[in-house]
Structure 1
Amino acid sequence: MLTVGVDIGGTSVRAGVVDPRGSVLDTSRAPTPAGERALEDAIVAAVEEVADRHAVSAVGLAVAGFIASDRRTVRFAPHLAWRQADVADRMSDRLGMPVVLEHDANAAALAEHRFGAARGAKTAVLVAIGTGIGAALLLDGEVFRGAYGVAPELGHLRVVPDGRPCPCGKNGCWERYCSGTALSATAVELLAKHPGVSTVLAREAAGDSRAVTGRRVAGAARDGDPLAKRAMADLARWLGEGLALVADVYDPEVIVIGGGVSTSAPLFLDDARERYSAVVTGAGHRPLARIRTAQLGDDAGIVGAATLAREMAAQMPPQTASRASKNHSRRS
């Protein structure tokens, strides 16, 4: 049984055909449009592009936003047009196949548990570090969503009272100190305090401080730039502090670090592990979670969403699945 997973982010819509072993067989990509109807059109086009080349039975959508507990409705997505939208039903009607929704971090965590870094773990946490922080919790291999489908928002734990402002409306959230955005903000602050330490980043910031992106800071740290390395050390410190909080609350067996920033893990992860092991409650007197980097990379959301779609399709009555397949064949 082949299914389609679609990773819907603020910048791109990526669809992939996934087999039961978690292998991505085919993909398509399109920019994320601004409007609600245009976004749904882009999803339909991306799915149909790969479905025309493969016999697929269901679709899973990994969405960067709050998903209702029944996984049919997008309550809110900060970078997408949907607001209290019955996306699953609308997409199913248009595609002629069953459609299920999932938060993108939950989908990625499920994929890592089935096929990647958290495989076999009874209790696992995914921390996806990108522009902000996305997070997911798995208990006995099942995604924990909370009472209303929005747990766990670890990126918005307040770690610095009256700290940096966050788009969520609070100040001092973890993701303001541990993310690609945080890496950029820390570097700009250090440049203001120590303007002569990094001639490379200082020259770029002089034209426009927005040029000092997290990706650029990571690249400079990789090249040995002293100020960029200090910014990276600050990120490592806050990652360790945050992971200690996560361990105090959930006591997981494994913590998977994913997201775009995880590609620079050799620059910060050892220091973060050391900080975590030093400040976690009961340090030196308790087993510590294994901290691993994600194995599936950018495909994790696609693989997880497709896996959920496969499980949903397998639970459907045979006549319903057959009817959905015929509807899709007719529309194709």
Structure 2
Amino acid sequence: MLTVGIDVGGTSVRAGVVDPKGAVLDTTRAPTPSGGAPLEDAITTAVEELSTRHKIGAVGLAVAGFVTEDRMSVRFAPHLAWRDSPVAKAMTQRLGLPVVLEHDANAAALAEHRFGAARGAKVAVMVALGTGIGGALLIDGEVFRGAYGVAPELGHLRVVPNGRPCPCGKKGCWERYCSGTALSATAVELMARHPGASTVLAREAAGDPQRVTGRKVSGAARDGDPIAQRALAELAKWLGEGLALVADVYDPEVVVIGGGVSESAPLFLDDAREHYAAVVTGTGFRPLARIRTAQLGDDAGIVGAATMAREMVGKR
């Protein structure tokens, strides 16, 4: 049976048809709308488009937010419009197909455990770097969701008291310093403090800070821009700092770094590993987690959501 996995992120809605071996056969993509109803329209359009080319048996939605323990409703999504929304029921009625929800990082972690970088790991953590940070914990191959379905929300660990404001309502969350959004914010701050220091990135921005995206910062760093390289170094430091906290709590065997920012991992991951190893509790006297990039790349959420949808139908 073919199923559709949809990664519903703060920036884009990406859908893919996935087979039982985890292969993505077909995809479609659209910008994430700002309202709840338009977002459901976008999901419907994506599934209907893919259904014209494939016979679909079920749909899984990987959502950047809190999902209830029965995986039927979205409690809260910092970067999306849903609040206490029975999304699975509504989408099942609209599509005429079984629909299941999952936190996007949980979905990506499951995909990596079944088909990718965390295969066989007893305890694995996923850190998905995108618009924000998604976190997931797998124990013996099973997703740990906590008592109410919201664990582990790693991106909103507070790492800087009274730091940068976060859409979740707090200040100083880890994702405000270690994500695609954070990378652009850091670059803009550095350009303001050091006018004239940037070359490539300044041309990209053309005087408009809104044009400085995380992707552009990574590109400028590859081209030797000093501000962009410094922004990547900051991201690496905060990634290592956060991973040390994660290791102190969960003691994972493997940490998988995924999300869109992981495409630029060669620019920051070695530095992040070094920082993690230097600050984790008991450094030098404990085994360190293997820190790997997601083998499934940006498709991990899609593959995981589709896999969960297939399993849901199989249990019925």
TM-score normalized with structure 1 length? 0.89
Q: Tell me what 2:165 maps to.
A: 165
Deviations 1:197-224 (A, max 9, x none): 2244345557222233222221121111
Find out whether 1:139 has 2:139 as its counterpart: yes
Find out whether 1:315 has 2:315 as its counterpart: yes
Q: Tell me what 1:109 maps to.
A: 109
- Cα distance in 1 for partners of 2:213, 2:189 equals 13
- Cα distance in 1 for partners of 2:228, 2:40 equals 40
Q: Tell me what 1:27 maps to.
A: 27
- Cα distance in 1 for partners of 2:311, 2:180 equals 34
Q: Tell me what 1:322 maps to.
A: none
Q: Tell me what 2:236 maps to.
A: 236
What's the secondary structure of 2:6's corresponding residue?
A: strand
What's the secondary structure of 1:196's corresponding residue?
A: coil
- Cα distance in 2 for partners of 1:227, 1:134 equals 26
1:211-250 equivalent positions in 2, closer than 5 A? 211-250=211-250
- Cα distance in 1 for partners of 2:267, 2:273 equals 12
1:23 to 1:205, Cα distance in 2 relative to 1, 3 A? closer
**Offset at residue 125 of structure 1 (A):** 0.7
Q: Tell me what 2:84 maps to.
A: 84
1:131-280 equivalent positions in 2, closer than 5 A? 131-202=131-202, 207-280=207-280
Amino acid at match of 2:277: S
- Cα distance in 2 for partners of 1:225, 1:106 equals 35
Deviates more, 1:287-296 or 1:215-224: 215-224
Amino acid at match of 1:58: A
Deviates more, 1:38-47 or 1:94-103: 38-47
1:125-136 equivalent positions in 2, closer than 5 A? 125-136=125-136
- Cα distance in 1 for partners of 2:31, 2:100 equals 22
Q: How many residues align?
A: 316
**Offset at residue 41 of structure 1 (A):** 2.8
Q: Tell me what 2:283 maps to.
A: 283
Do the aligned partners of 1:16 and 1:25 also contact (CA within 8 Å) in 2? yes
Q: Tell me what 1:119 maps to.
A: 119
Deviations 1:169-215 (A, max 9, x none): 22221112111222222223323333232244345557222233222
Amino acid at match of 2:239: L
**Offset at residue 160 of structure 1 (A):** 1.7
Do the aligned partners of 1:125 and 1:137 also contact (CA within 8 Å) in 2? yes
1:15 to 1:277, Cα distance in 2 relative to 1, 3 A? same
Amino acid at match of 1:95: L
Deviates more, 1:202-211 or 1:263-272: 202-211
What's the secondary structure of 1:207's corresponding residue?
A: coil
Amino acid at match of 1:42: A
- Cα distance in 2 for partners of 1:119, 1:301 equals 16
What's the secondary structure of 1:263's corresponding residue?
A: helix
- Cα distance in 1 for partners of 2:171, 2:31 equals 31
**Offset at residue 71 of structure 1 (A):** 0.4
1:40-119 equivalent positions in 2, closer than 5 A? 40-119=40-119
- Stretches of structure 1 lacking an aligned partner (at least 5 in a row): 317-332
Deviates more, 1:254-263 or 1:153-162: 153-162
Deviations 1:73-107 (A, max 9, x none): 11122333322121112222232222111111111
- Stretches of structure 2 lacking an aligned partner (at least 5 in a row): none
Deviations 1:281-315 (A, max 9, x none): 11011111000011112211111011001111111
- Cα distance in 2 for partners of 1:62, 1:109 equals 11
**Offset at residue 68 of structure 1 (A):** 0.5
- Cα distance in 2 for partners of 1:97, 1:186 equals 43
- Cα distance in 1 for partners of 2:75, 2:151 equals 13
What's the secondary structure of 1:57's corresponding residue?
A: strand
- Cα distance in 1 for partners of 2:308, 2:218 equals 34
Amino acid at match of 2:288: L
What's the secondary structure of 2:168's corresponding residue?
A: coil
What's the secondary structure of 1:219's corresponding residue?
A: helix
1:227 to 1:48, Cα distance in 2 relative to 1, 3 A? closer
Do the aligned partners of 1:195 and 1:202 also contact (CA within 8 Å) in 2? no
1:102 to 1:130, Cα distance in 2 relative to 1, 3 A? same
Deviates more, 1:99-108 or 1:222-231: 222-231
- Cα distance in 1 for partners of 2:224, 2:33 equals 39
